Amino acid sequence: MHHFQYRGNELYAEEVAVKDIVAKAGTPVYIYSHATLERHFRAMDDAFAAVPHTICYSMKANSNLAVLKTFANLGGGVDIVSGGELYRALKAGIDPKKIVYSGVGKKDDEIEYALKAGILMFNVESEEELDRINEIAGSLGTKAGIAIRVNPDVDPETHPYITTGLKKAKFGINIERSLDQYKRAAAMPHIEVIGIDCHIGSQLTKISPFVDTIRKLKRLIAGLEEAGIRLTYFDLGGGLGITYDEEAPPLPAEYGRAIVEETRDMGLHLIFEPGRNLVGNAGIMVGKCLYTKKGEEKNFVIVDAAMNDLARPSLYGSFHGVQAVCKDQDGSIVADIVGPICESGDFLAKDREMPRFRGGDLVAFMSAGAYGFAMSSNYNSRPRAAEVMVKGDTFTIIRERENRDDLIKGENIPDFLQK
């Protein structure tokens, strides 16, 4: 159950009619439900109530300041992957001691920025990165808290583009080589080894890959203890899936039970990096039908939202539910929903049964809160969409729609081209 429900024929976001939001904010627009964000955060947090833990929201899923502040107010931290994300997190008031920094390509200035901000730990993804962090911490006269991101070689059984914990992936340090790297790290003057980290993939619909991962990491932790290396934090990454269509992923409470059971005897402080699970079903994207047309073999519904606004269908063939904002259409059709972009890959739904939309109808794309706006671009010189947060019977534009000046911001025509 989420907070996007019909009252009569009208789709509502909490207590607000979606069409009233569109009247003010225009289309395409992303709409987030504050109550749903809170509920999802609490469900994850409560799932681990029995043990010391921190929920470090993986903010790449949706990095709007208002979303971050919602979680900060509930005691959440964040998982970041860039200096830009750190900047946003600090602006939103996230406690630096609840920030973990993942990613295979941390740059010198980003490492320095994170050290100066006093983040909890770096999730180190390579041997060279470890050296670099040690050097930079040394030059700043400080020590860097680190975990090694261990690649456990476990198959999460999800889409190949979002599988990260297999041997062939670019992520983390192979589990067989991790013990040596831990020993090296422990001997470094400007490194403080405090944790172990992994992240095996996204949109997982089973618990067993998480459990397999924990069991593998436990063997490594036993080896660390023998070597005299004691950890404080166990970061299990993110990855718990959501329902887009027919998927039936475990609920956070079930996930919590299984993980607490597997990890309790270790006595470590658990860290989780959920992204999609917190925000995916807390958001929708709404576009407007511009035209409909009958092709040779297909029906097309052409909307004013496109792959630059919601890239997931084009990129991964992902499913997003399609719903009418006002259910007053005459029957249904099977059609593709496409955007104005000049690429055949620009579709938001394919061969889908849907209401017989007409020009002017509003179309809601469901489960768009994660990796929706965050992955949007200006391709085809399209200003990025507005974002709105609803709370009860009120709503706020939390990101203005871009305008045409935003599109050319920072561009210069060189003198030699002036006539």
Active site residues: 342
Q: Which stretch binds ligand LLP (CB under 6 A): 205-213, 234-242, 263-271, 289-297?
A: 234-242
User: Which of 43, 51, 117, 162 is close enough to bind ligand LLP by CB under 6 A?
Assistant: 162
As beta bridge partners, residue 323 has: 364
Selected from 36, 277, 323, 367, the binder of ligand LLP by CB under 6 A is: 277
Q: Which stretch binds ligand LLP (CB under 6 A): 29-37, 91-99, 233-241, 409-417?
A: 233-241
- 273 counts as binding ligand LLP under rule CB under 6 A: yes
Report angle CA 178, 184, 190 to the nearest 5 degrees: 120
> Exposed, middle or buried by CB within 10 Å (0-12, 13-18, 19+), for 390?
buried
Our finding on whether 387 is near ligand LLP (CB under 6 A) is no
Rg (CA), the chain: 23
Tell whether residue 313 is a contact of ligand LLP (CB under 6 A). Answer: no
134 interacts with ligand LLP by CB under 6 A: no
Q: Least separation, in Å, of the C-beta of 412 and ligand LLP?
A: 32
Q: What value, to the nearest 5°, has the Cα angle with vertex 57 and ends 93 and 81?
A: 85
238 touching ligand LLP, by CB under 6 A? yes
Q: Given the complex with ligand LLP, which of 110 and 273 has the nearer CB atom?
A: 273
Angle at 101 between CA 96 and CA 103, to 5 degrees: 165
32, 122, 233, 371: residue in contact with ligand LLP (rule CB under 6 A): 371
Count other Cβ atoms within 10 Å, centred on residue 131: 15
Among 79, 85, 129, 153, binds ligand LLP (CB under 6 A): 79
Q: Where are the alpha helices (DSSP H) in 269-368?
A: 276-279, 312-316
Give me the least distance between CB of 150 and ligand LLP, in Å please: 12
Closer by beta carbon to ligand LLP, 130 or else 362: 130
Choice from 152, 275, 283, 313 touching ligand LLP (CB under 6 A):
275
Q: How far apart are CA 325 and CA 346, in angstroms?
A: 22
Q: Are strands 29-33 and 269-272 parallel, antiparallel or unpaired?
A: unpaired
Write the DSSP symbol of residue 70. Answer: H
